[in-house]
Each structure stands twice: as C-alpha cells, then as structure tokens.
Amino acid sequence: MNVLKFGGTSVANAENIKLTANIIAKKAKEDRLVVVVSALSGVTDLLLSASKKASDKDAAYKEIVAEIEKKHLFAIKELIPVNDQSAMLSHVKRIINHLETLLDGCFLLGELSDRTSDTIIGFGELLSSCIIAETLKQQIPDAAYKDSRELIKTNNQFGKAIVNFAESNLLIHNYFDTHDSSVTVIPGFIASSSDGHNTTLGRGGSDYTAAIVAAALHSKQLEIWTDVNGMYTANPRIVKQAHPIETISYQEAMELSHFGAKVLYPPTIQPVLNKNIPILIKNTFEPEAEGTLISATAKESENPVKGISHIDNITLITLEGSGIIGVSGSSKRLFGTLSNENINVIFITQASSEHTICIGIQNSDAEKAKIAIDKAFEVEISQSKINPCTVEKNLCIVALVGESMKNHQGLSGKMFSTLGKNNVNIRAIAQGASERNISVVINERDVKKALNTLHERFFEDNTKQLNLFVMGVGNVGEKFMDQIHQQKKFLKENRKINLRVIAISNSRKMHFDEDGMPLKDWKESLENGETADKQTFISRVKALNLRNSIFVDITANEEVSKTYDQYLEENIAVVTCNKIACASAYENYSHLKNLSRKFNAPFLFETNVGAGLPIIDTLKHMIASGDKVHKIQAVLSGSLNFIFNNFKENNNFHDVVKEAGVQGFTEPDPKIDLSGVDVARKILILIRESGYEMEIEDIDNESFLPKECLDTQSVPDFFTSLIKHESHFNALYKNAVAKNSRLKYVAKFENGKASVGLQLIEPSHPFYNLEGKDNIVLFYTDRYVDQPLLIKGAGAGAAVTASGIFADVIRIGNV
C-alpha cells in the first residue's frame, strides 16, 4: 500500500482537483492507496481570520464564512455530476452550519480558546476531503472516505498535539485490515485526543498525517504531491537557477526543511525515517517530472553540498559579560528562561572564551525574550558583571547543507569568501560537529544576494552572473550594448560569465528590468521608460542589492562622476570611461580608490587613457611587480592626432575638427580636446597610477588655441572662432612643414613635473609616424631605462572605447 499526500495548491480549485484525481486514478491501477489531502488553497488562512474576527467581536467573520461556503459549493458543482450533487451539497452545508455555530459562540463570548481554535481550523480539511472522495468515485467506484480523527489519537496539547503512536497505529491497522477499498481519502492535519476532542498536528500537519499512516502501514513509499518538482538546491522563487535535487538523505532533507525548505517539514520525516520508508516529492502539475527521492542513502554526487536554505525573520540575542566566564549553569539558566517563555531557539553559538552566548530566535519573540533574560540575570546586570542582553532584529539564517560536506576541506572558506566578495556581512556562525550544515546569520536585506551568490558558487559550474547598470547610451554606449548582445552567448558558454543588463539610462529616460532586459530591443525599452533621475537610479540599484553589481558610466558628466562613492560603499563595482573623477582633486581620487579596497568593489577606468589600449592595466602590473616610473612621454589624444594628421594645406582646420566629431573621436564639446584639458586629465591619471601625488593645476598646459577660442561659451561659438582664426592654424602647419616636422600634441612627465602642448616632431622621433587616431605611450622605468616600454594603437573611436569598457567588465567577471 502506498500513501499519497496532496497539498493545498494541488487541491486549490476544481481544475486542480481534476488533475489530482487523474494522478490518483493512474496510481490506483498499480497499488492500494491512502490519499491524504489538505484544505483547498487559502481556506485555512480564511478560517484563522474568521476565528480572530469573531473573538474580536467583528461581525465580518460572517462574510468570510460565506466566502468559504461559496468556494466549496462551486467546487462541488464543477466536479460532481448534477444527479449526485444533492447529498454532497447537504453534507457541506451541515459542516458550514457547524462552523458558523462555533464562530457565533466565539463572537458572543469574545474569546477563542486553543481547543476551539483547533476545531475551527480543521474544517478546511474536513470539507476538501469529502468533496475529493466523492469526485474520485467517478473514476474509482470503490473509493472511500475515512475521517482521520478516528485513526490518529493525540494528547490534549491543542495547536500542536503529540501523537499517541501506539493507539494510532492500532486503529490504522485495524481499519485498513478490514476495509479493502482501492483508494481511501482521509483529511490531513486533524486528529482527536483520546477523550474525543478535536486536535491539530501543527505546521505541516497534513504531511505529518501522511507519514504517520505510511509508517503504521509499512508502506512501500510516501509520495508528497505539491506545486514544485521536488526539493530544490535553493528557493526557486529567489534563485532562478535553482534546480530539483534528484536524491537526498533523510538527514539532509531534515536539515533543509528546518532551514526553510517549505516543500517538507521536519516532523514529517520522523515516522517514515524510523521505518526506512522512502519519500518521493512530486509535482501535481508536472507529474512526469522525476521529483526528489528522500531515502536512507542518497545517490553519490561530486558536489558535497546538496542545497542552500534560509530562515527569515530572525533576531539575534547576545548575552555577554565576565559574569558568565567559568560560571556553571549560565547556559542552563539562559535556555531554561527561554523554555519557560515557550520561545524556540533556532540558532546557537558561543565563544570559546565563554564571554558571549548568542542565540537566534523568531522576530516575534524578541521583546518577550529580552524582558525574560534581563529579569533572569538582573542581579549580575546590576553588578555590571553581565550586560543587558542586546537585540538585533531583521536578520536571516543561511545554511549550506550536505551529508558529504564533512569529507571536503575548505567549504567554510569558500562560503565565507563568496559572501565577503559581495559585501554580505556575517553576524554569527554555527557549524555542528556532524558538519552536515554550516549556518551563518546575515542581514535580511542581503538574503537574495547571498543565496544567489552561494548557488552560483556551488551549483552553477562556477558561472558568474554580472548585473550591469549602464548610464549613458549615446555613441559609445550604443556600441557597448551591441558588443554585449553579440558576445553574451560566447561569454556564458566559454568564459562562464553570464552578463545581464538590469538598467539603462540617458539624460532623458531610464529603464529597469530586474530579470535582465532583452538586448535586441533595449532602445524601445528605454524610450518607453520613466523620466531619468540620477538619485532615483542610485536608490533603485541599491534596493535591488544584486550580486556582482556593476555601475557602468559611459558619460562625460561631472555630476555622474560624483556618485561613484555611493556605489562603491554598497559593494557595487564602477567601470567608467569618464575621466572627471580620476582627474578631480587628489583627495577624491584617493578616496574612491580606498573605498574600492575597503568594500571589495572594483573601480576600473582603463578607457580613461587610450580608449581600448591596455595602458592603465599594464601600468598597474608594472607598479605591483615593484617597478617604478620615472618618465612618461605620450600622445594621448586620438582626436588631436586625427585632426593634425588630416590637417593639410588644402584642408580647413574647422572642417577637420568637425569631421573628428562626426566620427566620434572628440568629446561632445571639442574644446575639451583642443584646449588640452582632456590630455592633461589623461597624463594626470597616469602620473597618479604611477604612484605620484599631483593635481590638474600642477600640469603646464601650453594651449595652441587663440584666447578668443578658449573663451567661447558654446560649441557653435567655438566652431565660429575656429573659422575666424584659420590663419593662425595655417601658420602652425606651415611652420611644421618648413622644419620637416609633424604636429603632435604631446604629454610629458619627468622629475615631478608635467606638461601638455603642441610640439614639432622630427622624423627620427617615435611619434613622427603615429597615424590616424592612434595613441602612443612611452614609459621609462627602473626596468625600462634605455629603451622605454611602448604601447601604441587606436586611442579614440566609439567601438574601441566600448571594447575597453567591455574589457573592464570582463576583468571583474574573471576576479
């Protein structure tokens, strides 16, 4: 004989009950069945609400009763043929009348005893089971109904009664030995005391009913039918990549159940565990799915971790002081006090110094616990030997679970480092001697990030998900989005990096999609987005609190650059091509670098110098390896190099600058490039990355622009001034030709001094043949003395800049 239990979602409505009936009919062809059913989905909550309202003298309980009645009468009309409905409608009406009478009594008395409450909340199973039994008779004529209150006997501990197994086993045996129906439907959750009072079996009571019956009948298997494909490696509502566990041991299942895996509750397992009866978790809505098999011995797996689970709404209470060091009975007094207050302790840890005892309890018990503990230790507190207990609410316990974890070294280290890299602060740690689970207490706001990060580390073949928040989707930003779209599949398959763009923004609009936006139509999504606002953008990024979050700044906006600290402080990496922050006051530059280190949040700006060229990265590696930079010579403006390479005798300087803008080589305001400000920022960044402290004002900027051009206040005025001073630019060109030289805008650093300016470059110089928009940097260091380290290549353009930003994002993925 097999026992099948169907939960509330499996019998939520007439449609679902039909699916359940089909499963039962198919199973009944193979074996005799006992079918345990829960109340229709939501009915138990309605009963609890009705009983509370009645005891509070709120007449609205009558409306809830009417809703419950309507729900069940509709199910009857949908499931049972018209000619057979009369008897069932009358039966349900009698049960509803009884319920209403009990609630009327609660209303008149203005109270609700535990005994009455047990009777009231059991009505859901009484109603659903009789309807389902009658429904089954259409396919299985000998299907029978049995009231489980006549089979399972308990004590009078109302709310969570303790089962009398000796009496219950005898009753179950006697009934099924004398009745041979192929299917017997019984209500879950409810039982009765030996003296005939209605009782309930507590949280997960229907599962418990099924386990009690299965153990009593020595069933071949207990099947729990629910709305998911078994026990998952993590909560699939929080971790989208979670997957069903094929096999798991009883002990592992109990650990996961204790830590919040709601498919199963720990008490369920005990009766069948003692009899070594396997439990199979199945999905009513995908009956062909394999599900999860729980047995004495689970299938061997390379992964020692079977699942990750968590408990919400946890409070940490800490008792601390010299008065508990070496004092016998301190722990006994603490736990005895909590026991007397009927407070369940979920988590325990104690320092080896005995100076501190830390416990985890439900938030709802926090105030009661503090009052009781402080009272129990009031003498020691008054003598300052023990501090009043501290209370930290809104925490969460996260646990790694696995039978084989004890045989694998380094799992704790992997767990803690994985959480640490994502700035998830661990408040307390516990690991049992069995090493079957490692538990940590963290802030409740970090639970989604923690579960996803740990699941990624232990179950996803080390695939790392990067969540991008992109500000600035103009010329360079568009290329960046296109490159992500093009490379997304390759990166996931070959580099184990899963890129998701969560948000995009320009100066007008912004759009968020927590699940990652489709990249093929991101422009349409942005156009239909909400009004852009930098602070709202930041707040939304923080609130999402996603693992491996990266803010990508593809603007030249100073206000955006001032927000980097707000991201870094939240462990959100910053990747930027915006040079303003790193070329701002040295104090701010240093502050951002320190925040990056403190909060383990990468701050990468490779494209600040040389677009896609690996200049800063190469410099960082040199410095890290102990080399020291003494001198830098560079052409750092791809736009200026393009302009002076294309400015010929027959070309108008104004037109060449215009063309550079059209091709995306200059900033939106080309004066930033031509004034030398952009080059000054770049050499400043290289100087700072070389280990020197310098401000932008310390750089000698020898501008080649006439003062009138520099003083213009708008882009159109600037271009007008270029036309007006055309003779000035022609003279510069003719002077270079006359001296057999080429014009190059050069940045230099040597002996603690730096300068930028237009220079005449002779044919023998390495800069002479620098073509197009290329950049070149020469580093003279301790190791590169006679022949400098040379880096050369395209230093401007939307595509190469986007690729540099992309490369920084990938660097973070490879950390």
Find the mean pLDDT for residues 63-68: 96
Q: Assess whether 539 and 665 both reside in one domain.
A: no
Give the mean pLDDT of the chain. Answer: 92
Please say if the pLDDT value at position 379 is more than 60: yes
pLDDT band at 354 (very low <50, low <70, confident <90, very high): low
Q: What is the DSSP letter of 190?
A: E
Find the mean pLDDT for residues 257-282: 80
Cβ atoms within 10 A of the Cβ of 445, count?
A: 14
At 75 the pLDDT is 95
Instruction: Express each pLDDT in 548-569 by its tens digit.
Output: 999 999 999 999 999 999 999 9
Instruction: Express each pLDDT in 291-329 by its tens digit.
Output: 999 998 767 777 888 899 898 999 999 998 888 877 888
Find the mean pLDDT for residues 238-255: 88
Please say if the pLDDT value at position 815 is more than 90: no
Q: Assess whether 712 and 641 both reside in one domain.
A: yes
Q: How far is CA 11 from the centre of its chain?
A: 31
Query: Helix or strand or coil: residue 325?
Result: coil
At 260 the pLDDT is 55
Q: Assess whether 440 and 503 both reside in one domain.
A: no
Q: Are the beta carbons of 795 and 613 closer than 8 angstroms?
A: yes
Find the mean pLDDT for residues 492-497: 91
Angle between the N-to-C axes of helices 43-55 and 123-136, in degrees from 0 to 180, rounded to the nearest 10: 150
**Percent of the chain whose pLDDT exceeds 90:** 76
User: 180-184, 427-431, 460-464, 652-656: lowest mean pLDDT where?
Assistant: 460-464
pLDDT band at 633 (very low <50, low <70, confident <90, very high): very high
At 327 the pLDDT is 80
With respect to residue 290, please indicate whether it lies within any of the assigned structural domains. Answer: no
Please say if the pLDDT value at position 653 is more than 70: yes
What single letter denotes the amino acid at residue 453?
T
With respect to residue 735, please indicate whether it lies within any of the assigned structural domains. Answer: yes
Distance CA 739, CA 194 (A): 113
Q: Which of the following is catalytic: 282, 682, 744, 748?
A: 682
CATH number, domain with residue 501:
3.40.50.720
At 476 the pLDDT is 93
Q: Assess whether 170 and 54 both reside in one domain.
A: yes
Find the mean pLDDT for residues 468-489: 95
| CA distance readout (Å), 293 to 5, 37, 753 | 15, 20, 72
Distance CA 474, CA 584 (A): 24
With respect to residue 321, please indicate whether it lies within any of the assigned structural domains. Answer: yes
Q: Assess whether 28 and 165 both reside in one domain.
A: yes
With respect to residue 257, please indicate whether it lies within any of the assigned structural domains. Answer: no
Instruction: Express each pLDDT in 191-225 by its tens digit.
Output: 999 889 999 998 788 999 999 999 999 999 999 99
Residue 739 appears among annotated catalytic residues: no
Find the mean pLDDT for residues 467-482: 95
At 256 the pLDDT is 83
Distance CA 117, CA 15 (A): 30
Find the mean pLDDT for residues 519-525: 93
Q: Assess whether 343 and 489 both reside in one domain.
A: no
Q: Assess whether 492 and 471 both reside in one domain.
A: yes
What single letter denotes the amino acid at residue 81?
P
Distance CA 500, CA 326 (A): 54
Higher-pLDDT residue of 266 and 737 is 737
Q: Are the beta carbons of 674 and 722 closer than 8 angstroms?
A: no
When divided into structural domains, the chain yields a total of 4
At 330 the pLDDT is 85
Q: Assess whether 444 and 491 both reside in one domain.
A: no
Q: Residue holding tokens 């880096």?
A: 791
Distance CA 687, CA 681 (A): 10
Helix/strand/coil percent split, the chain, to 5: 45, 20, 35
Please say if the pLDDT value at position 432 is more than 70: no
182, 204, 227: which is the final residue of a domain?
A: 227
Instruction: Express each pLDDT in 163-194 by its tens digit.
Output: 999 999 999 999 999 998 999 999 999 999 98
CATH number, domain with residue 391:
3.30.2130.10
With respect to residue 260, please indicate whether it lies within any of the assigned structural domains. Answer: no
Cβ atoms within 10 A of the Cβ of 60, count?
A: 12
Cβ atoms within 10 A of the Cβ of 763, count?
A: 9
pTM: 0.76
Q: Assess whether 322 and 204 both reside in one domain.
A: no
196, 227, 258: which is the final residue of a domain?
A: 227
With respect to residue 19, please indicate whether it lies within any of the assigned structural domains. Answer: yes
Q: Assess whether 436 and 476 both reside in one domain.
A: no
Closest CA to 549 of 588, 587, 511, 601: 601
Please say if the pLDDT value at position 433 is more than 70: no
Q: Residue holding tokens 């490696």?
A: 233
200, 227, 254: which is the final residue of a domain?
A: 227
Q: Assess whether 417 and 473 both reside in one domain.
A: no
Find the mean pLDDT for residues 130-158: 95
Please state the φ and ψ torsions of residue 479, each to the nearest 5 degrees. Answer: -60, -40
Over its C-alpha atoms, the chain yields an Rg (Å, rounded) of 36
Domain limits for position 520:
467-576
DSSP 499-557: EEEEEEE-SSEEEE-TT---GGGHHHHHHTSEEP-HHHHHHHHHHH--TTEEEEE-S--
What single letter denotes the amino acid at residue 794?
A
Q: Assess whether 483 and 452 both reside in one domain.
A: no
At 352 the pLDDT is 62
At 353 the pLDDT is 58
At 258 the pLDDT is 67
CATH number, domain with residue 157:
3.40.1160.10
Distance CA 183, CA 143 (A): 5
With respect to residue 249, please indicate whether it lies within any of the assigned structural domains. Answer: no
User: 91-100, 627-636, 663-672: lowest mean pLDDT where?
Assistant: 663-672
Distance CA 636, CA 290 (A): 61
* Residue 153 CB-density burial (10 A; 0-12 exposed, 13-18 middle, 19+ buried): buried
CATH number, domain with residue 739:
3.30.360.10
User: SS3 string of 692-743?
Assistant: CCCCHHHEEEECCCCHHHHCCCCHHHHHHHHHHCHHHHHHHHHHHHHCCCEE
With respect to residue 620, please indicate whether it lies within any of the assigned structural domains. Answer: yes
At 446 the pLDDT is 93
Cα torsion through 800, 804, 807, 809, rounded to 10: -130
| CA distance readout (Å), 185 to 32, 36, 88, 281, 328 | 11, 6, 15, 19, 54
At 684 the pLDDT is 98
Query: Helix or strand or coil: residue 34?
Result: strand
Higher-pLDDT residue of 668 and 136 is 136
Please say if the pLDDT value at position 615 is more than 70: yes
Task: Give first-to-last CA distance, the chain, whole Å.
Answer: 55
CA contacts within 13 A on the Cβ side of 235? 18
